[in-house]
Chain A
Amino acid sequence: MIRLFGVTKSYPSRGPVLKGLDLHVAKGEYLVVCGTSGVGKTTLLRILTAQESPDEGQVMVAGRNLAKLKRSAIPYLRRNIGVIYQDFKLLGGESVLENVALPLRISGVHGKPLRDRVDGVLELVGLSDKHLSRCGTMSGGEQQRVALARALAADPTILLADEPTGNLDPKATALVLELISKAHRRGLTVILATHDPQVMAGGQADRVLELSGGRFVRDEVHSGVCLDLHSAADGHVEAISLLV
């Protein structure tokens, strides 16, 4: 579903952020990318949504090489990707209905199919009774659930979550993580970027990758295998831990 080959990205003000990243995310996989703030998690997600181009390397998303993608084709790529953010990025003055319906309208869905789809995703996130509420007046947890409903509305194949629980209390965090897992169980490929230990320990991901110094330094498969990529990069796997 997603492949990165030697992706490098640097900014004049920050220097190199990503250094030759390789990554393969299978269809239907739930991947958590963790790391401290400023380590390049958001940059990675921005590259996947074609908001940024890598300085070097190739990126394949849903079978499309982003380097060869025409500018006019980028919107159509993004319709396959649902994104949620720490700051929700909702239209605060608009109703829940209008926010969730937006990606559907963009995709050309109108009338009854639009209403049915909005009802479906709002039911999924437990906000069926909030159609007409103004997003600006809702709690953080509710807003993130609206954002998730919006991300799922156009039936994307990939869900990217950039610090989705960064502004939420533990209870809301747990609920949002549960909803993301629910979406994943429906077949969605999920990449969640976080620095939050609660999310990392949530244990619902198939795999956790730790990003540090522009490289993946830890690749932990949920089945219990943890690969120390510091050593793997040198060709010698020194530590493979079995997590029980």
Chain B
Amino acid sequence: MRSIGYHLKRTLSGLGARPLALLLTLGSVALAFLLVGSVFLTAHNLSRLTDLWGAGATVAVDLAEGAPPAEVARVEQALREIKGVRAVKRVSPVMAKARLMRLLGEDAPVIASVEAGFLPSSLEVTIGGDRQDVLGAQQRISRMSGVVPGVEAVQTVETWFHRLDRLISGIRLAAAGLGLLVLVACAYIIMVTIRLRFVDRRQELQVMRLMGATERFIRIPYLLEGMWHGLLGAALALCLLLVGHHLLTARAETLFGAGVHPSQLGFLPLGQLACGLAIGGLCGLAGALVATRQPSHG
């Protein structure tokens, strides 16, 4: 373990030996990680926005005409027991007509003379929680239509919500696939860089072997160097992503419309950031392992 200082010194001297090659490698790795990070960040924020939008979702459960109060009470109770349901409010035909007239504004007189009874009694269900809770609650409520006594119809935004959910899953899948490709590409770039350095210093390594250096002793600085390449590349990508995120967040309302408030957008969680850095380091280590693997000649 006392030799770790020596290995680190050799690693740092190796990193500084060819600044241009280092910059090119770091730049390539950072760009690759930036690409994947952007896709993940997009998916993350879409998911956040969907959760936020879903939190205030309401579902209207139209009651069958003439449903007895006991039956309505049972429906109300059943709704309250569904996970994600925050509140259930009875809306009488009179209340519904008043709401409709408010919505119509100047055109309200058109329905002013119509009897309140033309609109059904309904239950207004407010759903909250994360996207999965909202989706689950909407599905369960939808299935009540025509099946549960007293429920005539259910009006939800389920389809829209489902599409968004599928889009987010698709983006995440694409990010994972892209990530895998990028990992292989980064490992290859780092492998080539380390291999060039390894070949460049083969005479020095040969001298070390003649003095009794084990392959492990010889490889350690190169493995650490590869790991640093991956780690620094990933860190640089995350820094660029953070800057990009801040710039976009500041212009969120201009770019995405009034529906998106800057406070609704967030950066990747710490766990994912740490994971990204670790993957960068491991990717570099894997590249360096391949680059320095060779039979021990003399």
**Chain A residues close to B by CB (< 8 Å):** 46, 49-52, 71-72, 74-79, 83, 89-91, 102-103, 105-108, 110-111, 150, 154
With A49-B210, A49-B298 given, name 9 new contacts (CB 8 A): A71-B296, A75-B214, A78-B211, A79-B211, A83-B210, A89-B210, A105-B6, A106-B208, A106-B211
B 192-235 to A, binary, CB cutoff 8 A, 1 in contact else 0: 00000000000110011111111001000000000000000000
Q: Does chain A have a CB within 8 A of B2?
A: yes
- Contacting residue for A91 out of B207, B209, B213, B217, CB 8 A: B207
Task: Find out whether the CB atom of B2 lies under 8 angstroms from the CB atom of A108.
Answer: yes
Q: Which residues of B contact A71 (CB under 8 A)?
A: 296
A49 to B298, CA, bound (A): 8
Task: Tell me the nearest residue of chain A to B211, going by C-beta.
Answer: A103
Task: Tell me the nearest residue of chain A to B7, going by C-beta.
Answer: A105
The smallest C-beta distance from B5 to any residue of chain A, in angstroms, reads: 8
A148 to B211, CA, bound (A): 12
**Chain B residues close to A by CB (< 8 Å):** 2-3, 5-6, 203-204, 207-214, 217, 296, 298
Task: Find out whether the CB atom of A110 lies under 8 angstroms from the CB atom of B2.
Answer: yes
The smallest C-beta distance from B206 to any residue of chain A, in angstroms, reads: 8
Task: Tell me the nearest residue of chain A to B2, going by C-beta.
Answer: A110
- Contacting residue for B2 out of A75, A76, A111, CB 8 A: A111
- Contacting residue for B212 out of A46, A90, A91, A106, CB 8 A: A106
Task: Find out whether the CB atom of B212 lies under 8 angstroms from the CB atom of A102.
Answer: no
Task: Find out whether the CB atom of A107 lies under 8 angstroms from the CB atom of B6.
Answer: no
Task: Find out whether the CB atom of B209 lies under 8 angstroms from the CB atom of A75.
Answer: yes
Q: Which residues of A contact B5 (CB under 8 A)?
A: 110
Task: Find out whether the CB atom of B296 lies under 8 angstroms from the CB atom of A110.
Answer: no
A188 to B186, CA, bound (A): 51
A111 to B217, CA, bound (A): 18
Q: Which residues of A contact B209 (CB under 8 A)?
A: 75, 78
A171 to B2, CA, bound (A): 41
Task: Tell me the nearest residue of chain A to B204, going by C-beta.
Answer: A91
- 7 CB contacts below 8 A, A to B, read A71-B296, A75-B212, A83-B210, A89-B207, A103-B212, A108-B2, A108-B3
Task: Tell me the nearest residue of chain A to B298, going by C-beta.
Answer: A51
Q: Which residues of A contact B213 (CB under 8 A)?
A: 75, 106
Task: Tell me the nearest residue of chain B to A87, going by C-beta.
Answer: B203
Task: Find out whether the CB atom of A110 lies under 8 angstroms from the CB atom of B3.
Answer: yes
- Contacting residue for A110 out of B6, B204, B210, CB 8 A: B6
The smallest C-beta distance from B28 to any residue of chain A, in angstroms, reads: 27
- Contacting residue for A76 out of B6, B207, B208, B212, CB 8 A: B212
With known contacts A46-B298, A51-B298, A89-B207, A78–B6 Cβ distance under 8 A: no
Q: Which residues of B contact A51 (CB under 8 A)?
A: 210, 298
